[in-house]
Amino acid sequence: MAERPDDTRRALATPTRQAETDRAIVTEWRFPPGGHTGWHRHAHDYIVVPVTSGDLAIWTGTQEIRSTLATGVSYTRAAGVEHDVINPNAFEFVFVEIELKP
């Protein structure tokens, strides 16, 4: 089971599409405290640029993995990643996601 039992009580993060070209999609994600994206699969390779410093939790379908992110320190992932991203902080967490189209 991909989703955790408490997912229905969590607020959803808010995506705002900032730009899209034939090469990339740029989306700002805003997570309220405790908010999450919901279970999803990435169709494209992507880059995440944190706007906020703090922790994020990733639910892999079997375990939760926490990472500490710093403002402006990017990371990348390959297409096909399946997960739910959760904000465990007591404050809003924001990042920009850049999806790279083939």
pLDDT at 36: 96
Counting the structural domains of the chain, the total is 1
- Domain containing 40 — which CATH number? 2.60.120.10
pLDDT at 8: 65
CB burial readout 14-48, b (16+ within 10 A) else e: eeeeeeeeeeebbbebbbbeebbbebeeeebbbeb
More confident residue, 91 or 1: 91
User: What whole-number percentage of the chain has pLDDT above 70?
Assistant: 92
Which domain covers residue 82, as residue numbers?
A: 5-100
For the whole model, what pTM was predicted?
A: 0.91
